[in-house]
Amino acid sequence: MAYEKFDLELPLKCGVTLPAFLTYKTLGDPKNPAVMIPTCYTGRIAGTMNAFIGDDDAVSPKKYFVIIVGLLGGSESSSPSNQPAPFDGPNFPKTIYEDNIHAQFKLMQHLGVEKLFCYMGYSMGGQQAYHFATLYPDHVQKIIPLASSAQTSGFNWNFLEGVKSAVKASSDFMAGAYTEPVMIGTTAFGRVYSNWALSYEWFKTKAWEAAGYKSSEEYLLSDWEKRLNTWDARDLLQMAVTWQEGDIAIYHDNDYAKALGAIKAEALVMPSRTDQYFRWEESVEEVKYLKKGKLAIIETVWGHIAGGGVGTPADNVFINKEISEFFAK
């Protein structure tokens, strides 16, 4: 599918100026209130938040100008797998959320958007929402972090070390010197990741059956192994490092409460009750410090991924309802 491409010179936090590009698509009339939605970890533009974007959904292109933008390192915008020399492959520089947000703000300006009505995102997308509201507080009215957090916890950081190790330890990764797709490594990555992204309750209730699969093995093979095999190993590692360094407190003297309290935007914070690494308890703490925060917990067995719209139909109805009401305030 062809998308739009925005080229820019991007000074990165690491000190490198990257001749970068953002890949994005827009829906709706640019005259309408703008909603920006970034991709997340192993998420691509085509599959981003589809359960909530549509004429009859909360984020209707009839009402809003929707901007869906690819994450740096996420295979569609500048990434190790697609960046021209001299920053191709293993030469691609480190990128963090701050780099993404500055690039996205430039994209906004390019599109003629002065202020976003809302910045919403799932997982890494939700962390970007917090970072956007921190770095550009006067340019966004509302934020919606779904299954996310303002700060990557130590537990979350270590979970990511585990999935990174599954890739790095594989024989076909070749200590980063691979020239062919890392199939063994990405298969192992998918298996390790899947257990964390779902939940104990998901397996106990055999939730794969409601999703149309005969067994958990069939589901894991289709939705995890084969899907992750389409990803470049360096892109997976690039995004993981960005995720690990997520923390808005660094802009406020490493004071987490102060950072949240400084956010001007209204916030709808939507964790999943069974998320194993973006814990719902963290969201409860965040709402305590946000000036204008509302907590709406997704009661689901689908773990982390329910926040991205791939849980049950009831999960999606709940999320759509909460977003619609939040937009109407």
Q: What angle is formed at CA 251 by the lines to CA 245 and CA 254, rounded to 5 degrees?
A: 75
Can you spell out the DSSP letters for 161-183? HHHHHHHHTSGGGGGGT--S--H
pLDDT in tens, the chain (329 residues): 679 999 999 999 999 999 999 999 999 999 999 999 999 999 999 999 999 999 999 999 999 999 999 999 999 999 999 999 999 999 999 999 999 999 999 999 999 999 999 999 999 999 999 999 999 999 999 999 999 999 999 999 999 999 999 999 999 999 999 999 999 999 999 999 999 999 999 999 999 999 899 999 999 999 999 999 999 999 999 999 999 999 999 999 999 999 999 999 999 999 999 999 999 999 999 999 999 999 999 999 999 999 999 999 999 999 999 999 999 98
Do the Cβ atoms of 292 and 185 come closer than 8 Å?
no
Q: Exposure of 171 by Cβ count < 10 A (0-12 exposed, 13-18 middle, 19+ buried)?
A: exposed
Side chain identity at residue 158, one-letter code = N
Residues 6+ apart with CB under 8 A from 1: 45, 46
CA distance 224 to 305: 12
> pTM for this structure?
0.97
